[in-house]
Structure 1
Amino acid sequence: MTTDPASPLTAEILRYTAFSTTPAGGNPAGVVLDASALDDPEMLAVAAELGYSETAFLTAGRAPGAYRVRYFSPKAEVPFCGHATVATAVALGERLGPLDLTFETNAGTVPVNVAASPDGTLRATLTSVEPHTEAAEPQDVEEALAALNWPAGDLDPAIAPRIAYAGARHLVLAAATRARLADLDYDFVRLRTLMERLDLTTVQLVHRVSDTVFHVRDPFPVGGVVEDAATGAAAAAFGAYARELGLVPAESTLTLHQGEDMGRPGTLTVTLRADDPRVQVSGTAVAIS
């Protein structure tokens, strides 16, 4: 747990990386456990100063374990962020012990459970808001592929392009090969322009390894970040998408590997339940010192 004494602001800023058990993996996030004294410009300034894809800002609610949570990228506020949620929940668990939390986000209410494994490692499981998917217009897919420098023939025909939502909007594009997914060199401004028009948070690039195992990558130019290293909100959206299209059983557990091509490997577990449309995403987190 670290603070940032050099910050011009007085808030205690913690740094965690989510979906990893080592500081060298996963996706770093800033965490401010008491943001009650910060206004919007100050929260944005903290996020920009840290430079992580997102920073979570908490204000305690009236009930135990209840918090108002807002998420800022270096460029703007985002409605929901999965990896910062996991990082925040683990940070609270380290201080309060295993517990159930309720996060009130701009996207809606997100329950989070923090549990300890036999070795003491804390694992956070968030339950998304109710998800949905919608068609991606052919011209928008064409523009996304042009910005990515991906030929249309490199897409996996079994996983159709679609926009998926579970707290934030993501365009899902599936690569037919692992090599295609690994080769990511895109037009930052062109993709950002398309994403701003479609109100997308990331583009969720996936490659299917087996029935329930996927490699994923998430360009995030609208947040001022080339790529997100582990994206819990996109994982939740993809889980809903995969279930809705019948790619996986309604009751299943998916494993998503992300960050390997960035040198920051992380693992996201996505749980789908037949009796609940919401999606669970779980993972570990560790403080960056």
Structure 2
Amino acid sequence: MLNIQHISAFSSGQDGGNPAGVVICDTLPEPAVMQKVAAEVGYSETVFAAPEGDAWRVRYFAPEVEVDFCGHATIALGAALARHVGPGLFTLDINRARITVEGHSSDASWGAAFQSPPTRSGPVAAAVLAETLDIFGLSRDSLDPRIPPAVAHGGGDHLILALKDREALREMKYDFARAQALAAREGYITFNLVFAETAQLFDARNPFPFGGVVEDPATGAAAAALAGYLRDIDWPHQGRVTIRQGEDMGVPSRLITEITPERGASIRVTGEARTVRESQEIEI
């Protein structure tokens, strides 16, 4: 039997956030079992963690595919570990990196902060950009010239499109099948559409067709990738950017990124957590 905790990460008070399944066990099940459980749970990700040496071995599964890193599930896991073994800093061995998450739990607040894998960014190929804009019904005139389109990495590749009009972000629509095919071909974990309200406050929408999900209300990995990219283009972030996500879905979420000056360095991403519903037992 596996115990599945249902925790919403990056919540705004007692509302919003992105729900994740969290499974803390003695040893990880077989990958086929984890994939089956993730499909049954139905959230954009379910995270599985088991102690291994001086760390926790962690794997993340979307309903249709395993992903190397998931930010909101890491926040949910850090919060769960804070209640499972006590608040503190936990080392996580994910598929392609070793990272940390710091979980806290008290009567006043519950949540976590993770340090992302190293970040990097680069331009989008012209043909891929043209295809993406067509999929989303956008034109080059829709884009904010201060933040050029990019592929940014923060544990996975995310295609960033900065829009110059908040209304265009609010009205986002796209062809799911075409976006899913493009994401699979190019290896894009998500499409990260953003609007800069101020230098330190962004609104974001985050389609996740790669994992079979139309849109995520809070995406920590994409937040880390965006923050790393803003550092790369010398954006005046002043060391901290807050991201509002899920607003246009009616699921308000808040992600706080802390950005050091060193290019390529890890990004710290913080969020609160809340219980979505009681845990459940799944037989394997």
Interval of TM-score (by shorter of Structure 1 and Structure 2):
over 0.9
Contact 2:91 2:100 in 1 (8 A): yes
Structure 1 residue 116: Cα displacement: 5.1
Q: Could you list the per-position Cα deviations for residues 126-166 of structure 1 after superposition, in whole angstroms to 9, with x for gaps in the alignment?
A: 11111111111111011011111112211111110000001
Counterpart position of 1:263: 250
Partners of 1:11 and 1:115 lie apart in 2 by: 24
Contact 1:23 1:286 in 2 (8 A): yes
Distance 1:18 1:134 in 2: 29
CA distance in 1, matches of 2:96, 2:246: 25
Q: Is the 8 A contact 1:21 1:286 kept in 2?
A: no
**Pick aligned residue for 2:72 from 75, 83, 88:** 83
Give CA deviations for 1:97-130 in whole Å, capped at 9, x if unaligned: 210101110130111112457x531331111111
For 1:253, the aligned partner's letter is: R
State the identity as a percent: 39
1:111 aligns with one of 100, 105, 108:
100
Aligned match of 2:140: 152
Q: Name the CA distance, whole Å, in 1 between partners of 2:15 and 2:26.
A: 27
Equivalent residue number for residue 274 of structure 1: 261
Secondary structure, aligned partner of 1:214? strand
CA root-mean-square deviation: 1.5
- Deviation digits for residues 18-61 of structure 1 (CA, Å, limit 9, x no counterpart): 00155640101000011625211110111111111000011112
Question: Would you say how many aligned residue pairs link Structure 1 and Structure 2?
Answer: 276
* Counterpart residue identity of residue 120, structure 1: A
Distance (Å, rounded) in 2 between the aligned partners of 1:141 and 1:159 = 14
Distance 1:81 1:190 in 2: 23
In structure 1, what is the Cα distance between the partners aligned to 2:28 and 2:141?
A: 52
Q: Does 1:14 align with 2:2?
A: no
For 1:36 and 1:98, how far apart are their aligned partners in 2? Answer: 22
Partner amino acid, structure 2, of 1:94 = R
Which residue is equivalent to 2:211?
A: 223
CA distance in 1, matches of 2:192, 2:131: 15
- Which residue in the other structure is 1:5 paired with? none
1:67 equivalent to 2:44? Answer no
Aligned counterparts, 1:34-183, within 5 A: 34=25, 36=27, 38-63=29-54, 66-115=55-104, 120-183=108-171
Partner SS, residue 267 of structure 1: strand
> Normalized against structure 2, the TM-score is what?
0.93
**Aligned equivalents of 2:185 and 2:211: distance in 1?**
14
CA distance in 2, matches of 1:51, 1:37: 19
The 1-side partners of 2:105 and 2:22 are apart by 20
Does residue 25 of the first structure (1) align with residue 16 of the second (2)? yes
SS at 2:2 equivalent: coil
Amino acid at match of 2:224: A
**Distance 1:271-1:121 versus aligned 2 partners, 3 A rule:** same
Q: CA deviation at 1:62?
A: 2.1
CA contact (8 A) 1:11 1:35 kept: no
Q: Distance in 2 between matches of 1:113 and 1:189?
A: 37
Residues 79, 104 of structure 2: 8 Å contact kept: no
Give distance in 2, aligned partners of 1:142 and 1:215: 23
